[in-house]
Amino acid sequence: MIRAIPPVPGTRAAGVCATAAGLMLLALGLTASAFPLATHGFSPWMALSAVALLLLVAALGGLAASELAGSGRLAIVGLAVAIAGAVTDLLAHSIAAIDASRSVSPLFPVGAVGTWAGMVLTGAAVLRARRWAGRGRFLPLACGTYPVLAVLPAYAIGNGLAGHLAGAGLGLLWVALGVSLSRAPRSWLPPVAPTVLPLRCDRYDDPAHRS
C-alpha cells in the first residue's frame, strides 16, 4: 500500500516558480499580437519571455531537489536535459531581447526541443518512481508531450498566431503543474520490516554462565 507523507521543503517554492512562469507564458501567448514587432533594438516580448524561462529553470531545479522523479538514471538524465534546454532557451530569448535582429537563432529550437524531451523523460521517471501522490504526477509528462502534439503542428501548419495560442496552452499546463507541485504530498511504499534474529537466552539462563 502506498502512503502519503508531507512534501519536502522546497517543493512549494518550485511550485510557485512554475505557476508564475506558466501564468507569464499564458499571458504572452494570448497577447503576443498586441506587442509591437521589433526588428531591431530592445524587444519587450522577448524580455518577458526570458523572465518566464528564468522562473522555469528555478522550478525545474526545485523539482530535481525534491527527488519526486526519483534518483535513478532516467530522472537524472531527464532533469539535466530539461534544465539544459530551458537554460539554452533562456539564453536565446535574452539575446533577442537585447537585439531583436537576432530573434532568428538555432538556439530557439534547440532549447525548446531539449526542454520538451527532458520533460518527457522526467515525466516517465516521476511515474516510475511513484513518489508523487495524486493526479498531478502526470503533468510533467504532459508538459513534454503537449508541445510535440500541439505547439509544433500549430507553428508548422498554421501561422504565428496559432503557434502563440498553442504556447498559451502550454503555459496553462505549467500553471497546473506548479499548483500541484506546491501542495503535492510525496508517496512511498512502506518500508520493509527489518529481520529480527531470535535471541538465544538459554545460555544466559544457565546458572553456570552467570557471573
The band of 199, judged by pLDDT with boundaries at 50, 70 and 90, is: very low
Q: What is the pLDDT of residues 76-122, one digit of tens each?
A: 999 999 999 999 999 999 999 998 877 778 899 999 999 999 999 99
Distance CA 62, CA 59 (A): 5
Rg (CA), the chain: 24
Q: How far apart are the first and last CA of the chain?
A: 49
Find where cell 557471573 sits.
211
Q: What is the pLDDT of residues 48-63, one digit of tens each?
A: 999 999 999 999 999 9
Confidence (pLDDT) at 195: 41
Confidence (pLDDT) at 160: 78
The pLDDT of 38-53, averaged and rounded, is 86
Contact (CB, 8 A) for 100 and 40: yes
Confidence (pLDDT) at 188: 47
- C-alpha pair distances (Å), 120 with each of 15, 24, 105, 123, 132: 18, 22, 24, 5, 16
Contact (CB, 8 A) for 151 and 163: yes
Confidence (pLDDT) at 63: 93
Helices and strands of the chain, counted as H and E runs: 8, 2
Helix (H, G, I), strand (E, B) or coil at 196: coil
Contact (CB, 8 A) for 194 and 15: no
Q: How many other CB atoms are found less than 10 A from the CB of residue 123? A: 23
pTM of the full structure: 0.81
Give me the torsion for CA of 52, 56, 62, 63, rounded to 10°.
150
Contact (CB, 8 A) for 26 and 172: yes
Q: Which helix (H) or strand (E) holds 148?
A: none
